[in-house]
Structure 1
Amino acid sequence: MASFNISAHKETTNDRLMRSLSLLKPNPPPGRWRKMNFPDPDNNIQLHLNRLGAPQLLSEYLAWIPFDRFTDVGMLVRGGFSVVWKGTVKPLDSRGWASYVPKQLPSWKRWWNNIAVEKRRFPLPEEVGYEPNYAYNHVPRTYALKEIEDFMLPELLYEQLTLQIHIASSGAMPQVIGLSQTNSGKYVMVMTYAVEGNLENTKLEIRSWDVVYQYAYWLAKSLCTIHKAGFTHGDLHPGNIVFYDECFAAIIDVGLGKCFEDANGKSFYGRIEYLPPEIFEEAPYTAASDIYSLGTLLWQMVTRVPPQSTAEKAINTRSDRLREEMIPGAPRIFEDIVRSCWNPDPAQRPEAQELVDRLYKKFNLKMPFSDVTNAFIAKRQAAHQQQQQSNSFNFTPSSLSRFHTLEELRGQINASTGNGEIPN
């Protein structure tokens, strides 16, 4: 594989911020319902954005939420550079939570709109308001609270931008609601809460291919949203794949890896098992790199174990040059998708939109895992558990993303076991 000097391709943080701001439009609809749910008469959001050195234009998009509005605050996870909490908020208004509600239209127009929506011609007109008769409109809401430092601001912009540009058409991105500040002075980014956890800790039982296709569709849709906004994720791993319910999954922490990139371009941020093979050869990280990592995560969603070794080691030792062994009994379309994502040549991998199109009509494919598939999963899980319990290995990947220099990556590969496997 050819080598590239990625320092020539690096985009500075300021460049990314200016590119983001050039696409933002003031006072979008999400900002209106957020400010109705979290009133800020003193405009504290502008004060705190100024302290963070953040563009004031963001005040049109984000709510300021006093920390004392949160109850039942508890820690969810501690990452390499942040801590994520959760907290519950009750609505202040007697009518409940403000949200998008259908416009009151004449009956003939509602009838035509319903037909048009079914044919996907255009969305049903909506406006911001209250639906007091909606059963869940008065139920307290739980949010994820991610501690934010100044250098993490690009993540805030990245997620907010992708949300603003594409959320109306895709619905595939988690929402950034606003900012708050703890009693100790730490800033937190308030986001929608993934009730079912992430791919590493979820208790969801995925035992049929229709469920796999459903989650795979939303993950591809989420990644497509990111790419259409002009960004790459840069750090796809199981902790960034979250489940909001039994039918919806999404990708979080968009662009966080870019916040931590070494200025000289000679180090990479991420988890070594999920880095695509081109990164080991100093090639630039592109949208196709995200696709490779997505293929690995789709494989892990079925097997529920991390991949062995590294991508570079796998393509150089496996005769099929795939990241992992294919899952026996998998439907042809799933196997084809994973194989295409794992193409060693980034130029030959599919785009996210192609994956969305291929998965779109597979939701109703009712097909439980076969005995051969379940046997393979059980075998891989037993092997993974045995590896975790073993102390005879030189290298154990961390569940946290961190910096890796090229020398370090290659050194870890050399420290792998004789059969080319790095214990998980």
Structure 2
Amino acid sequence: MWMDGPLKYDKDEMKWKNMPNKEVTLKCVYNSQNIINKFLNEVKSYPNKIYGLSENPDTKNYIIVLFQDHYCKNCNEIYTGNERWCKLCQVNNLKENFANWTSGNEKIDNLIQEMQLKINKCEDIIIEWIPYNQFNHIKEIGKGGFATVYSAIWKDGPLKYKYGEMKYEKMANKEVALKCVHNSQNITSEFLNEVKKYSLNGDDYILKIYGVSQNPNTKDYIIVLQYAKGGSFNNYINNDIINWFWSEKLRALRHIIKGLKKIHENKIVHRDFHTGNILLSFIDYYSTESENHIGNVYVSDMGSCEEISNIDETKIYGVMPFVAPEVLKGKPYTQAADIYSFGMIMYFIATTKQPFANCAHDSILASKICYGIRPEINELEAPKCYIDLMKRCWNPNPDNRPSANEIKELIKLFESDHKEEIKIQFEKVEEYRKANLISIKDNRSTTHPQAFYTSRLLNPFTKELSKCDNDYNTSVEVIDFTK
């Protein structure tokens, strides 16, 4: 306790006054009388967090007088960020707790421990092993070739840091999604890698992971994920997406490209980027006459993600209209292939139609895509600047496609009012959208019975495409191939 306390300016009395009985932290630096330069450099390392200096009269060691609120009372280390959270103490607490839980599988235990120790700030989710009996109200919400997804209530819920109380508390009765991976009884590197890929959740636009569990009956492992109440974009092909204002369409695209940018920054390729893997939260959905708010938008299904240096070229997997032509011809997935897929997501958001919805997704379509066929868009439906960007994403030469970062900056430009020409373009298409809601809905074609918008193996439809001798057909023919 500093009896006199620091000086503070009193605005009423217009003078400096001491604040008595101020709690402070004293950092006593050993042998500092003999290493004065090193001591002074340490003092300089505490800008805006130091009251002053002192000296112990007995040892002659110098003392740094620090703000109490910025230093951990347990270890005297500076707090991480401004939330009075100590990374060192939290990591030590997690290590001490390792002995109190186990999945029964050494590989799973090691993975969870590794991910827990990567915690870097108090907002980071602490990945856990979650016993299956922690889940209530389990309901199937989706099924694919490799996994079944359920919604559930996690009774204890995840840990969350309480700033005021400076401690973690459980968020009870948390609604989550359970991704049950088929035939995962024997742990594979693919399963472990998928869990790791979800740990990119420092980004707000990638679905968050809470932990791992196991079904005691099937022995299949489960990835416990954030639950997106709105479901995927595929759910809205015939519903609310037609009512989205252009401001919300751009906001959704901004969220999606930020998620993809995060993936690419980590030297990863998504490899299965389509509307079924874009989820909506609808946490704060509301609508007015001028805009509607759809909540957050998330990139999901990180299971197909691979590091750029470790991509299997033999399997072509995905939703055919969203797969880049070079991939259909047997060339490796690249980040540019993800950008091609993003261009198709742009088409869906602009038109509320799936690309190539009214034709079979077979070897004929695969061949036409490789020879330059792209979906047609009515120029009244989307601004020229938007269509130009979308077509750049569709470019048959992957080297000519924009990067995720460039797309993010362009969408940011579209959202701003700084360029009058762009602003006018979006105002015109918004007027067209409002005036033609019924006709836009009526003009949407019926989905062909052999059009598939869930991921599947495409190799049976691409066997002959590798023989194509024109690597990149530079003339893209954009026609309405849905008729």
TM-score normalised by the shorter chain: which range applies? 0.5 to 0.7
- Stretch of structure 1 that moved more, 234-243 or 402-411: 402-411
* 1:421–1:144 CA distance, 2 compared to 1 (3 A): same
Q: 2:209 aligns with which of 170, 173, 176?
A: 176
Residues 1:233 and 2:285 are matched in the alignment: no
Cα displacement (A) at 1:298: 1.8
User: Are 1:57 and 2:114 an aligned pair?
Assistant: yes
Residues 340 and 349 of structure 1 are in contact (CA less than 8 Å); yes or no, is this contact kept in structure 2? yes
- Corresponding position of 2:446: 386
The CA distance in 2 between the partners of 1:363 and 1:247, in whole Å, is 17
Aligned to 2:142, the other structure's residue is in SS state: strand
Shift in Å, 1:375: 7.7
Q: CA deviation at 1:215?
A: 0.5
- Does 1:68 find its partner at 2:128? no
1:48-197 to 2 correspondence within 5 Å? 48-50=105-107, 57-58=114-115, 60=117, 62-91=127-156, 98-102=159-163, 129=168, 140-148=173-181, 149=184, 150=187, 151-160=190-199, 162-163=200-201, 167=202, 170-184=203-217, 185-197=219-231
Q: Label 1:405 to 1:158 Cα distance change in 2 as closer, same or farther (>3 A).
A: same
Q: Which one-letter code corresponds to 2:295 in the other structure? A: C
Contact 2:268–2:305 (CA<8 Å) still a contact in 1? Answer: no
Larger RCO of the pair (alpha carbons < 8 Å, separation 6+): 1
The SS at the match of 2:178 is strand
Match of 1:218 among 233, 249, 255: 255
2:452 aligned residue? 398
1:335 aligns with 2:387: yes
**1:355 alignment partner in structure 2:** 407
Taking only the aligned residue pairs, the percentage that are identical comes to: 21
TM-score of the two chains, using structure 2 as the length reference: 0.60
1:274 aligned onto 2:322: yes
Alpha carbons 1:214, 1:362 under 8 Å: kept: no
The answer (yes or no) to whether the contact 1:174–1:251 under 8 Å persists in 2 is: yes
Q: Displacement, 1:212?
A: 0.5
Matches within 5 A, 1:310-321: 310=365, 313-314=368-369, 316=371, 318=373
Asked if 2 retains the 8 angstrom alpha-carbon contact of 1:210 and 1:362, the reply is: no
Q: Are 1:243 and 2:280 counterparts?
A: yes
Aligned partners of 1:409, 1:240: CA distance in 2, in Å? 26
Partner residue of 2:332?
A: 284
Structure 1 residues 256-298: Cα deviation after superposition (integer angstroms, max 9, x where no partner)? 2659xx9973330111121111112322211011011011012
Q: For residues 129-162 of structure 1, what are the alpha-carbon distances to aligned partners after superposition, in whole Å with 9 as ceiling and x for unaligned?
A: 45xxxxxx967321110013234332112222x2
Call closer, same or farther: CA 1:403–1:361 in 2, change over 3 Å.
same
- Cα displacement string for residues 206-236 of structure 1 (whole angstroms, at most 9, x for unaligned residues): 4211001110000000000000011000011
Name the residue aligned to 1:265: 313
Shift of residue 59, structure 1, vs aligned partner: 5.8
Secondary structure, counterpart of 2:316 in structure 1: strand
Q: CA deviation at 1:242?
A: 0.6
State the 1:302 CA deviation: 3.1
Structure 2: distance between partners of 1:62 and 1:226:
19
CA contact (8 A) 1:196 1:243 kept: yes
| Amino acid of the structure 1 residue aligned with 2:228 | A
Q: Is the 8 A contact 1:176 1:192 kept in 2?
A: yes
Asked whether the equivalents of residues 393 and 401 of structure 2 are also in contact (C-alpha less than 8 Å), the reply is yes
Instruction: State the match for 1:44 in structure 2.
Output: 102
Question: Match of 2:153, SS?
Answer: strand
Which of 323, 337, 345 is the matching residue for 1:297? 345
Given that residues 276 and 312 in structure 1 are in contact (C-alpha distance below 8 angstroms), is that contact kept between their aligned partners in structure 2? Answer: no
Partners of 2:327 and 2:439 lie apart in 1 by 30
Q: Which amino acid aligns with 2:160?
A: S
Residue 44 of structure 1 aligns to a residue whose secondary structure is: coil
What is the total number of aligned residue pairs between the two structures? Answer: 335
Q: Is the 8 A contact 1:210 1:364 kept in 2?
A: no
CA contact (8 A) 1:63 1:177 kept: yes
Residue range with higher mean Cα deviation, 323-332 or 246-255: 323-332
Q: From the superposition, tell whether residues 325 and 243 of structure 1 become closer, same or farther in structure 2 (CA, over 3 Å).
A: same
> SS at the partner of 2:270?
coil
| Residues 88-110 of structure 1: per-residue CA shift (max 9 Å, x gap) | 12447xxxx64245579xxxxxx
Checking the alignment, whether the CA contact within 8 Å between 1:292 and 1:343 is kept in structure 2 is: yes
Aligned letter for 2:446? Q
TM-score with structure 1 setting the length: 0.67
Does structure 1 retain, via aligned residues, the 8 Å contact 2:279–2:299? yes
Answer whether contact 1:180 1:190 (CA < 8 A) is retained. Answer: yes
Contact 1:231 1:255 in 2 (8 A): no
Mark the structure with the bigger radius of gyration. Answer: 2
Give the structure with the larger strand fraction: 2
**Structure 1 residues 288 and 378, CA, compared in 2 at 3 Å: closer, same or farther?**
farther
SS, match of residue 282 in structure 1: coil
Partner residue, 2:9 = none
Aligned residue type for 1:201: N
> Does the CA-based 8 Å contact 2:329-2:370 persist in structure 1?
no
Does the C-alpha gap of structure 1 residues 187 and 280 become closer, same or farther in structure 2, counting only changes over 3 Å? Answer: closer
Q: 1:44 is matched by which residue type in structure 2? A: T
1:367-421 alpha-carbon deviations (Å, 9 max, x no partner): 5954644688766754654354xx7xxxx1323212122654659xxxxxxx984
Alpha-carbon distance, 1:305 to partner: 2.1
8 Å CA contact 2:268, 2:306 repeated in 1? no
Which residue is 2:244 aligned to? 207
